[in-house]
Structure 1
Amino acid sequence: MAHDAGADQNQRVASVEFIVVQFLTGLASAASLFLVASGLSIIFGVTRIVNFAHGAFYMLGAYVAYTLTERFEGFFGFWGGIVAAALVVAAVGALLEIVLLRRIYRAPELFQLLATFGVTLMVQDLVVMIWGPEDLVGPRAPGLRGAVDILGLAVPTYDLFLIVLGPLVLGGLWILFHRTRWGVLVRAATQDRDMVAALGVNQTWLFTSVFALGIFLAGLGGALQIPRNAVTHLMDLSIIVEVFVVVVIGGLGSVLGAFIAAVLVSELNAFGILIFPKISIVLVFLVMACVLIVRPWGLLGRPEGPARQPAGLSIRPWQPMSQNQRLVMLAVVVAAGFAPFVTGDYALTVLAEIAVFALFAASLHFLMTVGGLASFGHAAYFGLGAYGAAFATTMFGMPMIGSLLLGPLLGVAGAILFGWFCVRLSGVYFAMLTLAFAQIAWSVAFQWVEVTGGDNGILGVWPASWAASPAAFYWLALAVSVAGIVALRVLVFSPFGYALRATRDSALRSEAIGIDRSRVQWAAFVIAGTFAGIAGALFAFLKGSVFPDNLAIPMSVDGLVMVLLGGIETVSGAVVGAIVYKALAIWLVSQTDLSKLVLGAIIVLLVVAFPKGIVGFAEDLLARRRAKADDGGAAARTTPAKAPAKAPAATSGSGAAPIAAPKMEAAR
Structure 2
Amino acid sequence: MGGPATRAVRAPVSRAPHAVPTKGRAVDFIVVQALTGLASAASLFLVASGLSIIFGVTRIVNFAHGAFYMLGAYIAFTLTEALSGTLGFWGGIVLAALIVAVLGAALEIVLLRRIYRAPELFQLLATFGVTLMVQDIVILIWGPEDLMGRRAPGFRGAVDIMGQMVPAYDLLLIGLGPAVLGVLWLIFHRTRWGVLVRAATQDRDMVAALGVNQKWLFTSVFALGVFLAGLGGALQIPRDAVSHAMDLRVIVDVFVVVVIGGLGSVTGAFVAAILVSELNAFGILIFPKISLVLVFIVMAVVLVIRPYGLFGKAEGPQRVAAGLSIRPWRPFTQAERLAVAAAVLVAASLPLFLGNYMLTVGSEILVFVLFAASLHFLMTVGGLSSFGHAAYFGLGAYGAAFMVKLAGASMVVALLVGPFMGLAGAVLFGWFAVRLSGVYFAMLTLAFAQITWSIAFQWVEVTGGDNGMLGIWPASWASSPQGFFWLTLGVVAIGVAVLRMLVFSPFGFGLRAARDSALRSEAIGIDRKNVQWAAFVVAGTFAGVAGALFGFLKGSVFPENLAIPTSVDGLVMVLLGGIETVSGAVVGAIVYKALAIWLMSKTELSKLVLGGVIVLLVVAFPKGIVGFLEDLRHRRRPPTPDGAGPKPAGYVAKVEAAE
Give the TM-score taking structure 1 as reference length: 0.92
Report the CA distance between 1:313 and its aligned residue: 4.2
Alignment match, 1:190:
201
Give yes or no for contact 1:314–1:570 (8 Å, CA) kept in 2: no
Task: Tell me, yes or no, if structure 1 residue 477 matches structure 2 residue 488.
Answer: yes
User: Distance in 2 between the 1:502 and 1:207 partners?
Assistant: 34
Q: Which residue of the other structure, out of 620, 644, 659, is the alignment partner of 1:609?
A: 620
Give CA deviations for 1:194-232 in whole Å, capped at 9, x if unaligned. 111111111111111101100000000000000000001
* SS class of match (1:367): helix
Alignment match, 2:341:
330
Alignment match, 2:655:
none
Task: Tell me, yes or no, if structure 1 residue 13 matches structure 2 residue 24.
Answer: yes
User: Distance in 1 between the 2:546 and 2:611 partners?
Assistant: 25
Give CA deviations for 1:405-464 in whole Å, capped at 9, x if unaligned. 010010000000000000111111111111111111111111111111111111111111
- 1:129-208 superposed matches below 5 A: 129-208=140-219
Q: Which residue of the other structure, out of 504, 515, 529, is the alignment partner of 2:515?
A: 504
User: Distance in 2 between the 1:386 and 1:571 partners?
Assistant: 26
Q: Which residue of the other structure, out of 527, 537, 540, is the alignment partner of 1:529?
A: 540
- 1:105-504 superposed matches below 5 A: 105-311=116-322, 313-504=324-515
- 1:67-86 superposed matches below 5 A: 67-86=78-97
Q: Which amino acid aligns with 1:393?
A: V
Report the CA distance between 1:282 and its aligned residue: 1.7
Task: Tell me, yes or no, if structure 1 residue 28 matches structure 2 residue 21.
Answer: no
* SS class of match (2:146): coil
Report the CA distance between 1:394 and its aligned residue: 1.0
* SS class of match (2:637): helix
- 1:14 to 1:328, Cα distance in 2 relative to 1, 3 A: same
Q: Which amino acid aligns with 2:353?
A: V
Q: Which amino acid aligns with 2:366?
A: A
* SS class of match (2:473): coil
User: Distance in 2 between the 1:266 and 1:623 partners?
Assistant: 53
Q: Which amino acid aligns with 1:550?
A: N
Give yes or no for contact 1:311–1:373 (8 Å, CA) kept in 2: no
Report the CA distance between 1:12 and its aligned residue: 3.3
Q: Which residue of the other structure, out of 520, 524, 528, is the alignment partner of 1:517?
A: 528
Q: Which amino acid aligns with 1:443?
A: S
Q: Which amino acid aligns with 1:66?
A: F
Give yes or no for contact 1:358–1:578 (8 Å, CA) kept in 2: yes
Report the CA distance between 1:396 and its aligned residue: 1.2
Which structure 2 segments of 5+ residues have no match? 1-20, 646-659
- 1:610-625 superposed matches below 5 A: 610-625=621-636
User: Distance in 2 between the 1:311 and 1:264 partners?
Assistant: 37
Give CA deviations for 1:60-104 in whole Å, capped at 9, x if unaligned. 100000000011121011000000100111111110000001000
Give CA deviations for 1:222-270 in whole Å, capped at 9, x if unaligned. 0000000000111111101100000000000000000000000000000
- 1:138 to 1:355, Cα distance in 2 relative to 1, 3 A: same
User: Distance in 1 between the 2:237 and 2:30 partners?
Assistant: 26
Alignment match, 1:88:
99
Is the deviation greater in 623-632 or in 327-336? 623-632
Task: Tell me, yes or no, if structure 1 residue 563 matches structure 2 residue 566.
Answer: no
- 1:450 to 1:313, Cα distance in 2 relative to 1, 3 A: farther
User: Distance in 2 between the 1:614 and 1:315 partners?
Assistant: 13
Give yes or no for contact 2:73–2:234 (8 Å, CA) kept in 1: yes
The percentage of counterpart residues that share the same residue type is: 78
Task: Tell me, yes or no, if structure 1 residue 584 matches structure 2 residue 595.
Answer: yes
- 1:480 to 1:503, Cα distance in 2 relative to 1, 3 A: same
Larger Rg: 1
User: Distance in 1 between the 2:305 and 2:212 partners?
Assistant: 36
Report the CA distance between 1:307 and its aligned residue: 2.5
Q: Which amino acid aligns with 1:537?
A: A
* SS class of match (1:149): strand
Is the deviation greater in 347-356 or in 299-308? 299-308
Give the TM-score taking structure 2 as reference length: 0.94
- 1:181 to 1:633, Cα distance in 2 relative to 1, 3 A: closer
Q: Which amino acid aligns with 2:487?
A: L
Give yes or no for contact 1:54–1:218 (8 Å, CA) kept in 2: yes
- 1:142 to 1:629, Cα distance in 2 relative to 1, 3 A: farther
User: Distance in 1 between the 2:596 and 2:347 partners?
Assistant: 20
User: Distance in 2 between the 1:250 and 1:320 partners?
Assistant: 44
* SS class of match (1:281): coil
User: Distance in 2 between the 1:159 and 1:213 partners?
Assistant: 24
Q: Which runs of 4+ in 1 moved over 2 A?
A: 10-13, 307-315, 627-634
Report the CA distance between 1:632 and its aligned residue: 12
Q: Which amino acid aligns with 1:244?
A: F
- 1:181 to 1:474, Cα distance in 2 relative to 1, 3 A: same
Report the CA distance between 1:13 and its aligned residue: 3.4
User: Distance in 2 between the 1:304 and 1:434 partners?
Assistant: 18
User: Distance in 1 between the 2:298 and 2:346 partners?
Assistant: 50
User: Distance in 2 between the 1:321 and 1:633 partners?
Assistant: 19
Give CA deviations for 1:17-51 in whole Å, capped at 9, x if unaligned. 11111000000000000000000000111111111
* SS class of match (1:388): helix
User: Distance in 1 between the 2:154 and 2:357 partners?
Assistant: 58
Q: Which amino acid aligns with 1:457?
A: G
Q: Which amino acid aligns with 1:139?
A: R
Give CA deviations for 1:322-376 in whole Å, capped at 9, x if unaligned. 0000000000000000000111110000110111000000000000000101111
* SS class of match (2:426): helix
User: Distance in 2 between the 1:312 and 1:216 partners?
Assistant: 37
* SS class of match (2:166): strand
Give yes or no for contact 2:188–2:198 (8 Å, CA) kept in 1: yes
Q: Which amino acid aligns with 1:119?
A: V
Task: Tell me, yes or no, if structure 1 residue 51 matches structure 2 residue 62.
Answer: yes
Report the CA distance between 1:309 and its aligned residue: 3.8
User: Distance in 1 between the 2:631 and 2:453 partners?
Assistant: 40
User: Distance in 1 between the 2:24 and 2:80 partners?
Assistant: 41
Report the CA distance between 1:620 and its aligned residue: 0.4
Higher relative contact order (CA 8 A, sep 6+): 2
Give yes or no for contact 2:320–2:516 (8 Å, CA) kept in 1: no
* SS class of match (2:133): helix
Give CA deviations for 1:357-407 in whole Å, capped at 9, x if unaligned. 000000000000001011111111001101111111111111000100010
* SS class of match (1:627): coil
- 1:56-67 superposed matches below 5 A: 56-67=67-78
Give yes or no for contact 1:313–1:369 (8 Å, CA) kept in 2: no
User: Distance in 2 between the 1:631 and 1:490 partners?
Assistant: 30
Report the CA distance between 1:283 and its aligned residue: 1.0
Q: Which amino acid aligns with 1:345?
A: N
Q: Which amino acid aligns with 1:21?
A: V
- 1:167 to 1:570, Cα distance in 2 relative to 1, 3 A: same
Give yes or no for contact 2:321–2:380 (8 Å, CA) kept in 1: no
